[in-house]
Structure 1
Amino acid sequence: MAKPNKKGPSRTVDIFCANCKTPLYKYRKGGKGALVKCFKERIVTDHTKLGGVCPGCDTVFARDTLVRGTPAFKMIGGKVFCK
């Protein structure tokens, strides 16, 4: 399979914790679909201390994984929302 585009899309979204509304990431997202995964190279601003753990309420919102050979966070359904 092809690797994701390194530069990525120009549209950014803010990702927040669904439990405590703490900002987690500013992310360059492509497409109109739901947020399923976040490629680490597309994260513009990272507000977390540990990858995949909310700094406000210590809830695990994502799992560390490889998608198409590229490091990514796979989001757990209902734990995050984006604006």
Structure 2
Amino acid sequence: MAKPNKKGPVKTVDVLCCHCKTLLFKYRKGGKGALVKCFKERISKDFTQQACTCPECNTVFAREMLVRGTPAYKIIGGKAIAK
């Protein structure tokens, strides 16, 4: 399968924790579908201290994995939203 476009989209979305509404990171998302995965190279600003964990409520909102050979966070359903 093809790798994701490195430059990616210009539009950024805020990724928030569903539990406490804390800003987790700003992400350059392409398309208009639901937030399923976040490629690490497309994260423009990261506000988390520990990977995949909310800094405010310590909820684990994603898992680290390789998607199409590129490091990404796979979002756990209902734990994080894009706004």
TM-score interval (norm. to shorter) = over 0.9
The residue aligned with 2:37 is: 37
The residue aligned with 2:76 is: 76
Measured in 1, the distance between the counterparts of 2:53 and 2:71 equals: 16
Measured in 1, the distance between the counterparts of 2:29 and 2:35 equals: 8
CA RMSD of aligned residues (A): 0.4
Unpaired segments ≥5 residues, structure 2 = none
Q: Structure 1, residues 18-72: CA drift from partner, whole Å, max 9, x if none?
A: 0001100100000000000000000000000111000000000000000000000
How many pairs does the alignment contain?
83
State the identity as a percent. 70
The answer as to 2:41 corresponding to 1:61 is no
Measured in 1, the distance between the counterparts of 2:27 and 2:62 equals: 14
Large movers: runs of 4+ above 3 Å? none
Unpaired segments ≥5 residues, structure 1 = none
The residue aligned with 1:27 is: 27
